[in-house]
Structure 1
Amino acid sequence: MTVRFDTVLMVDWSGGNDRGAKPKKDAIWAALVREGRAGEPIYLRNRQVAEAWLRDVLKEEQGAGRRVLAGFDFPFGYPAGVAERITGRPDPFALWDWLEARIEDSPKANNRWQLAAEMNARFPGTGPFWGNGGKTDVPGLPRRGREREGHGAPELREVERIAKATFSVWQLAGAGAVGSQVLMGLPVLNRLRRRFEASVWPFDPPRGSVIMAEIWPSFLAPEVRAQCARTKEIRDAVQVRLMARAFARLPEPHLARMLATRSPEEGWILGLGFEEQLRAAL
């Protein structure tokens, strides 16, 4: 299995609306290391801008014959059994297709709260999604996690039980929430997957010219904090820069061991268990 990558692309995603022209936190940021040369972080004000930028970058890299590792900081799957309950098939890509067909997204509005409530209706009880961050109540979507009961879905994936500081995919709003990023990110990845015939690790073996993987920037939290303290930069920008550099500099044997992990349904975080190697690569 070839694990050499010419280009490493890391993306810090967002589930919210357009963040405006001026670069700011809690937005979409991306960083690229191409053939050992690191560029400055790129601010992408909304998902429409980000998807267009990603298409252009991947088209350029693929056209130039460069192999790309593209990391995105949100879960690629849900706990075991969820895909089958929603789609009738225990296949993560069936759920990606299902979400892509139903998500409505624009720079100023999207239907993630309503779609989460629709998914909740396929479970017994109340939940599992929670965290309506809008002003208007959405029937079937509780605002607080403690309001859920009897839904029967696992709270965490296996990888989140190991990586203790990660958050549940069911939390849509509030500090640390990642659920909205998943709902709004997977449809974008699904389109990129088809367009570039990308492999999605760890569901697919890492073959071809574009490999997409789930990442977690908190692996480099001490280094990120230290650089932010020195430079006063936006944390999201620092995170993607350091993650791109770490993975680009990682010795191939370490990367091969990371990519040997397979998870047919839930997904996995690239680099889990190799935190010291990533820090050393910086």
Structure 2
Amino acid sequence: MKYDRIIAVDWSARSKPSPRKPTKDAIFICISGQHPTYHRTRAAAIDYVSDVLQAALAAGQKVLIGFDFSFGYPVGFAKKLTGSDRGLAVWSWLADHIKDGPDNSNNRFAVIKDVNALFEGIGPFWGCPMGVEDEALPAKGSLRHGHGMAERRAVEDAVSSAQSTWKLFTTGSVGSQSLLGLPYLWALKQHYREDLAVWPLETGFEQPDAKITVVEIYPSLMRPECSLSLEHAYPHELYDILDAKQVRWVCDQFDTMNKAETWPDAFEVCARLSNADQIAQEGWILGATAA
């Protein structure tokens, strides 16, 4: 099956709008065949995504869209937080509790202190700005103990450079991006219903046949070994910023797979890791396979 549009989204957990001048560690969105766009807030970015999806559906097109944050947590977290062992139950819970303003102001650290309080010991979440840390939310991962959760998802064991979803602050803090991204994805799911499939949390590892397929991506996996220098080829675009290059790389590589119809290779994972219950809780990165 082919997609008519492929979209890659590099997310951000900034608590203020990004600068007017495009900068790193902000939100960049690329559509296959186009140059990336820069977005100062999460609200503005999701409005842009919604407009693109609406136009695609109106044109009868199928869309694959990837977001670069974790879609799930290690086994057992969903049950402890929501009473359900389904990963999408966590999305719903976060949508009910995380408040994210149009200016990127948010309450993620306060919410996570309450979440950590549900567990024995200290943790599992960690990392926060100076002055926010306390016994409920330690600044360092080494201060946690006795919370009972695995440190990494199965896919993070398969991709060793991937960061743990528990990390909320400083370089590589994908955990905060997830907390401030999953509520938006839940809103998209509620809006598009059966027209939108979340792979693999609700589909298993089969390639979905929905109008919109939402996947987790890890742009560092898509770095080409040898490629045209985008910043030199397109000096008036945003390619002097790594985030912009990465979403373009994702779109280009997925577009190549799309044209060659080699998607089964991307959606496939090692049989020994294909535990349906585990994947329904933890999710997976599209294109990541275990050696």
TM-score with structure 2 setting the length: 0.87
> Which residue pairs with 1:126 in the alignment?
122
Letter in 2 for 1:271: G
How many residues in Structure 1 have an aligned counterpart in Structure 2? 269
Give the Å deviation of 1:221: 3.2
Letter in 1 for 2:281: E
The unaligned stretches of length 5 or more in structure 1 are 276-282
CA distance in 2, matches of 1:246, 1:176: 23
- Check if 1:245 corresponds to 2:252: yes
Residues 24, 234 of structure 1: 8 Å contact kept: yes
Show CA shifts across 1:156-176 (max 9, x none).
Answer: 000001101010000001111
> Which residue pairs with 1:44 in the alignment?
39
Letter in 2 for 1:45: R
Letter in 1 for 2:170: G
The 5 A counterparts of 1:81-92 are 81-92=76-87
CA distance in 2, matches of 1:224, 1:184: 34
7, 10, 23: which one pairs with 1:9? 7
CA distance in 2, matches of 1:241, 1:68: 16
> Which residue pairs with 1:183 in the alignment?
179
CA distance in 2, matches of 1:136, 1:101: 22
CA distance in 2, matches of 1:171, 1:256: 32
Show CA shifts across 1:96-138 (max 9, x none).
Answer: 0000000011124211111111110111000010001254335
SS at match of 2:7: strand
CA distance in 2, matches of 1:173, 1:28: 17
- Check if 1:53 corresponds to 2:55: no
SS at match of 1:195: helix
Q: Point out the more displaced range, 259-268 or 146-155.
A: 259-268
CA distance in 2, matches of 1:164, 1:202: 20
CA distance in 2, matches of 1:124, 1:213: 32
- What is the Cα-based RMSD across aligned positions, in Å? 2.1
235, 238, 241: which one pairs with 2:242? 235
SS at match of 1:161: helix
Residues 113, 138 of structure 1: 8 Å contact kept: no
Residues 274, 22 of structure 1: CA spacing in aligned structure 2 closer, same or farther, 3 A cutoff?
A: farther
Give the Å deviation of 1:222: 5.1
Residues 42, 104 of structure 2: 8 Å contact kept: no
Letter in 1 for 2:177: Q
CA distance in 1, matches of 2:115, 2:226: 36
Letter in 2 for 1:254: T
Give the Å deviation of 1:260: 4.7
TM-score with structure 1 setting the length: 0.89
SS at match of 1:190: helix
CA distance in 2, matches of 1:220, 1:56: 26
Letter in 1 for 2:7: L
Give the Å deviation of 1:227: 3.4
> Which residue pairs with 1:28 in the alignment?
27
Residues 56, 62 of structure 2: 8 Å contact kept: yes
Residues 228, 234 of structure 1: 8 Å contact kept: no
> Which residue pairs with 2:272 in the alignment?
none
CA distance in 2, matches of 1:51, 1:255: 26
Residues 159, 290 of structure 2: 8 Å contact kept: no
CA distance in 2, matches of 1:223, 1:25: 22
Show CA shifts across 1:207-256 (max 9, x none).
Answer: 21000000001113355998377566100000001111110111554212
In the TM superposition, structure 1's runs of 4+ consecutive aligned residues that sit over 6 Å from their partners are none
Residues 139, 244 of structure 1: CA spacing in aligned structure 2 closer, same or farther, 3 A cutoff?
A: same
- Check if 1:144 corresponds to 2:158: no
> Which residue pairs with 1:278 in the alignment?
none
> Which residue pairs with 1:279 in the alignment?
none
The percentage of aligned residue pairs carrying the same residue is 38
CA distance in 1, matches of 2:246, 2:226: 6
CA distance in 1, matches of 2:187, 2:290: 30
Residues 45, 203 of structure 1: CA spacing in aligned structure 2 closer, same or farther, 3 A cutoff?
A: same
- Check if 1:65 corresponds to 2:60: yes
CA distance in 1, matches of 2:213, 2:284: 14
163, 168, 181: which one pairs with 1:167? 163
CA distance in 2, matches of 1:22, 1:269: 31
Residues 227, 238 of structure 1: 8 Å contact kept: no
